[in-house]
């Protein structure tokens, strides 16, 4: 049943881009395409390494997919 135009094929990418747009792109006015690229690199670094995700049991994507241990945070 897998074929061209199947909604499940793109659901994860679509969800990621929705997050990127609402959490970063719509909140910043980029001066140029180069600045947008630089800022998005910074955002993706944050999204993958420092932002815990509810669906990943409060782990970052890097922790979940690369087996990195959670760093203990001091109060």
Per-residue pLDDT of the chain (75 residues; tens, 9 = 90+): 556 667 777 887 888 889 899 999 999 999 999 999 999 999 999 888 888 888 888 888 888 888 866 555 544
Contact indicator for 44, 36 with CB cutoff of 8 Å: no
What pTM value is reported for the model?
0.66
Give residue for tokens 């395409």: 33
Q: In sequence order, what are the residues at sequence separation of 6 or more whose Cβ sits closer than 8 angstroms to the Cβ of residue 39?
A: 24, 28, 30
Sign of the four-CA dihedral 19, 36, 58, 73 = negative
């Amino acid at each position: 049943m897998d074929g061209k135009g199947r909604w499940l094929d793109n659901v994860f990418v679509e969800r990621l881009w929705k997050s990127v747009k609402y959490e970063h792109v719509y909140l910043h006015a980029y001066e140029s395409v180069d600045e947008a690229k630089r800022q998005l690199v910074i955002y993706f670094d944050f999204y993958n390494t420092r932002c815990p995700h509810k669906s990943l049991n409060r782990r970052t994507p890097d922790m979940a997919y690369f087996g990195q241990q959670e760093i203990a945070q001091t109060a």
